[in-house]
Amino acid sequence: MNIRKPIQIIFFIILALLISSLLLLIDHVSPIAGIAELISGGFLTHYGLVATINDTIPLLIVAVAIIIPFIAKFWNIGGQGQYIFGSIFATWIGLELAGSLPGALLITAAIIFAFIGGALWAMPPTLMKIYFGTNEIITTLMMNFIAVYFLDYMTIGPMEGSIAKITHVPSSAPIPSPDLLPHIGGVSTGIFMALAIAVIIFILLRYTNFGYELKLIGSSIDAARYAGASLRRDLLLSMVLSGGIAGIAGMIQVFGITTVLLPQVFSDITTSFGYVGIPVALVASLNPLITIISAFFFSGVLNGAYAMEISFGIPIDLVITIYGLMMFFAVIGVMINLGRIFRRSGAK
Amino acid sequence: MSSFISIFMLLLPTVVLGMVPRAAPIFAAALGENIDQSAGTLNLGVEGMMLLGTIIGFVIDFKTGDFVLAFIVAGLASALLALLHGIATISFKVDQVTSGTAIWFIGWGLSGFIYSSLFGKASSPPAVKTIPTLYIPHLTDIPYIGKLLFGQDPVVYALFITFLVAQYFLFHTKAGLNLRTVGEDPLVAEIMGVNPDLYRYFALIFGGFMAGVGGAYITLSLVGSFYFDMTAGMGFIAVALVYFGKWNPLRVLIGSLVFGAVYVLYLALETYFPTTPYQFFSMFPYIATLILIILVGARAHAPAALALPYIKEG
């Protein structure tokens, strides 16, 4: 593998962080102090590191999920909605079966239901693409907004927990503790599932005919047709997997971290794993193994931003802009031939 | 069913009068996106540009009280984001979907960040006076259509003039033809002596400006204060409307008005059906977008070079 590109991407991501830090001047905070707080709060303190690993779990899974159709240049921006439907289905079955099944079986059932929920929610845009040729970016996005309102309805409607009825803080009833994913030193064991999913999808994309066909479709639809790839089948399968895996991320978040189903606010980046998964996947050049690193890094930046908010009162929304800038510079970093520019300017 | 129809008839005047201001921000963004896409650039960052427009417009109006200045600065700020998108996609040939998504994030984050930095997490949000309606004397007295056509605020009139100019420019001028040629086949345009990059930059900056104006319209005319992520997908609906409008501003305008009506309708229906969970009404605009985009479907003929970077041979 060419070593130049990764080094360039890292260079540009650091550049993006430095540019973001200049925004701290609006809040009269020294950029250097801000960056130091971000790094220590996200990666170096014990509390921060545990939180970073826990946030890496859903982020990694969603990012890996959207990589599958992204490889075929099918832009599934609907990871957020699929994540939400996975969490709704998983919570529902978890509460229905609580007490009647042993924990391990119940968790398995929840994973299956989360997969079904996420995959189902990914179907309308996929079928619309196949049968009407609609633009998937718009349709998958619209499905996200519909999902958010549906989740909102569920948490204050049919699935509202008895405590929530008293406190008026919308949420479902909690998943009983024997059915939750265990923690090791504060870290949810969902991390092992996340890593396993990343490795499995890496193998699927690299060593199977299906993965090869997706890559072919992504580079040239005509070439893929010529090579005998079934576009419809590949697209459908990639979206079933993508939606399903994004759904599993929702399940792992409920059973590992929140223990209840919570409504979402559009603007709340801290629960928008489905959206953040997009830059995470793209910065990793759509490689599921590199995504492990980028998910960890993005999650660290998020928790570092929390630390900045607590220490300096920097609004957490800054982290969304940092994500955007990191993504922006990383993709430019892929396109630029830095070496040539340096050589050219040196030659003058 | 009959009660449904009677409610509909009851709501009709509200919907017709209310749809124009509701349509305005979407149309502003969609008109800009139309020009972008006609030149071959897909601008997915329009949601972020609108969001930046909401906060910049609000801050300038809040500090100076000058809403004209507020709209211009909001437009310029978003045009700056569009310039970033241009540098990435036109000069560096970055994938347009990727860059657009990055721009969306940048604008999204900045809107919340700037607001919280300046106003904190205040419990009662600061407010500005919404821009005044400009009644055109005598003409507003025309029955039925008087108020609809001549009882709007100045920005709506400005938007309508921009629409007329854009429509004329795109289909009746040499420059408009050049721009569409760049969108269909940049190589042919280059052979004709047209600089494709220049046209794409121009289109993007115009699109960014319009998205910013659309965003500012939400804070300054519809609401009067700022809320986080208050566009709630309007930028993406604007992109959908360009597909629906088949890259013709007139059809985009009609689509935007339909959307304006959908927004007013769901707000009104919410009050008429208090027992139905409001979330189902809130889904209206998004479901309507899905239906709209199915209706157009594959029959839409997009500019052939849409979303493709122009890379010179050799």
DSSP 3-state of A82? helix
CB under 8 Å to A64, separation ≥6 — which residues? A197, A198, A201, A245, A281, A288, A291
Q: Residue A243 belongs to a domain with what CATH number?
A: 1.10.3470
Whether the predicted pLDDT of A345 surpasses 60? no
Q: Do A242 and A66 meet the contact criterion of CB atoms below 8 Å apart? A: yes
**Number of domains forming the structure of chain A:** 1
What gap in Å lies between CA A42 and CA A37, rounded to an integer? 8
| Amino acid present at B234 | M
* pLDDT tens per residue across span B5-22: 777 777 777 777 788 999
pLDDT of residue A303 exceeding 60, the answer is: yes
Secondary structure (3-state) at B127:
strand
**Which range has the worst mean pLDDT, A84-93, B143-152, B177-186, B210-219?**
B143-152
- In whole angstroms, give the CA distance from residue A241 to residue B300: 29
Which residue of B102, B111, B228 is in closest CB contact with A328? B102
Which secondary structure element, helix H or strand E, spans residue A247, and what is its range?
A: helix A231-253
Closest CA of chain A from B169, distance in Å: 27
Closest listed residue to residue A324, CA positions, set B84, B209, B210, B202: B84
List C-alpha distances in Å: A182 to A39, A187, A252, A256, A296: 28, 9, 11, 7, 20
A183 φ, ψ to 5°? Answer: -115, 145
Residue A92 pLDDT exceeds 90: yes
Question: B32 vs A28, B82, B127, CA distance in Å?
Answer: 36, 11, 28
Q: Does any domain span residue B135? A: no
- Residue A278, chain B, CB below 8 Å: the answer is yes
pLDDT band at B314 (very low <50, low <70, confident <90, very high): very low
- Smallest Cα distance from B50 to chain A, Å: 14
Q: Return d(Cα A114, Cα B81) in angstroms, integer.
A: 38
pLDDT of A348 > 50? The answer is no
In a domain, B258, yes or no: yes
Confidence of residue A100 (pLDDT cuts 50, 70, 90): confident
- Residue A42: name the closest of A6, A62, A17, A72 by CA: A17
The angle subtended at Cα A297 by Cα A76 and Cα A278, nearest 5°, is 10
Dump pLDDT digits (tens) for B274-284: 888 888 888 98
* Six-digit token string for B116: 């919280």
Contact between A141 and B236 using a beta-carbon 8 Å cutoff: yes
Contact A73, B308 (CB under 8 A): no
**Minimal Cβ distance to B102: which of A152, A319, A327:** A327
Q: Which of residues 112-151 of A touch B (CB under 8 A)?
A: 124, 128, 132-135, 137-139, 141-143, 145-146, 149-150
For A121-183, the DSSP string reads HHHHHHHHHHHH---HHHHHHHHHHHHHHHHHHHHHTTTB-HHHHHH----BPPPPGGGSPPE
Chain A residues within 8 A of B115 when measuring between CB atoms: 315, 317
Distance (Å) from the C-alpha of residue B104 to the closest C-alpha of chain A? 7
Put simply, whether A319 touches B (Cβ < 8 Å) is yes
Q: How confident is the model at residue B58 (pLDDT cuts 50, 70, 90)?
A: very high
**Residue B312's closest CA among B189, B227, B166, B225?**
B189
Please tell me the total count of domains within chain B: 1
A214-258 pLDDT tens trace: 999 988 888 888 888 788 999 999 999 999 999 999 999 999 999
pLDDT tier, A323 (very low <50, low <70, confident <90, very high otherwise): very high
- A140 and B97 Cβ atoms separated by less than 8 Å: no
Q: How confident is the model at residue A128 (pLDDT cuts 50, 70, 90)?
A: very high
Please check whether residue A124 is in contact with residue A143, taking contact to mean a CB–CB distance below 8 angstroms: yes
User: Does any CB of chain B come closer than 8 Å to the CB of residue A269?
Assistant: yes
A141: which chain B residues are within 8 Å (Cβ-Cβ)?
A: 233, 236
Q: At B229, is the pLDDT very low, low, confident or very high (cuts 50, 70, 90)?
A: confident
Distance CA A263, CA B108 (A): 20
The 10s digit of each residue's pLDDT in A191-221 is 999 999 999 999 999 999 999 999 999 888 8
Question: Which residue in A27, A142, A321 is closest to B105 by CB distance?
Answer: A321
Q: Is residue B282 part of a domain?
A: yes
Q: Which of A26, A132, A139 sits opposite B298 (nearest CB)?
A: A132
Residue B206 CA to residue B29 CA, distance in Å, equals 10
What is the model's pLDDT at position A342? 57
Domain containing A177 equals 4-347
Structural domain boundaries enclosing B195: 9-120+143-299
Instruction: Residue B281: give its domain's CATH number.
Output: 1.10.3470
Characterize B274-296 residue by residue with b for buried, 16 or more Cβ atoms within 10 angstroms of its Cβ, and e for exposed.
Answer: eeebbbbbbbbbbebbbebbeeb
Give this complex's ipTM. Answer: 0.90
Whether residue B304 is contained in a domain is answered as no
Inter-chain CB proximity B282 and A149 less than 8 Å:
yes
Q: Where residue A339 falls among pLDDT bands split at 50, 70, 90?
A: low
CA distance linking residue B19 with residue B34, whole number of Å: 21
What whole-number distance in Å separates Cα of residue B202 and Cα of residue B36? 9
Q: What is the mean pLDDT of residues A145-156?
A: 94
Q: Which of residues 172-191 of A touch B (CB under 8 A)?
A: none
CB contact under 8 A, A324 and B286: no
Q: Is the CB of B88 less than 8 angstroms away from the CB of A152?
A: no
In this complex, do A266 and B84 lie within 8 Å of one another by their Cβ atoms?
A: no
Contacts of A133 in chain B (CB under 8 A): 297-298
Taking CB atoms and an 8 Å limit, are A266 and B232 in contact across chains?
Answer: yes
Structure tokens at A116: 């079904």
Token code pair at residue B210:
């319009």
Q: Which of A25, A128, A130, A134 to mutate to test the interface with B (most CBs of B within 10 A)?
A: A134
CA A218/CA A282 separation, integer angstroms = 14
B52 to chain A: closest CA residue: A321
CB-based contact A343:B131 (threshold 8 Å): no
Mutation pick from B90, B266, B279, B308 vs chain A, by most beta carbons of A within 10 Å, is: B279
Q: How far apart are CA B274 and CA B109, in angstroms?
A: 34
**Confidence at residue B60, expressed as pLDDT on a 0 to 100 scale:** 95
Q: Which of residues 227-256 of B touch A (CB under 8 A)?
A: 228-229, 232-233, 236, 239-240, 243
Query: Would the CB atoms of B102 and A331 count as touching at under 8 Å?
Result: yes
- Put simply, whether A279 touches B (Cβ < 8 Å) is yes
Distance from C-alpha of B240 to C-alpha of B307, rounded to nearest angstrom: 15
Within a domain: residue B132? no
Q: What is the DSSP letter of A208?
A: S
SS3 label, residue A187? strand
Kindly state whether A28 is in contact with chain B, defined as any CB-CB distance less than 8 angstroms: no
Strand locations in chain A (E):
183-184, 187-188
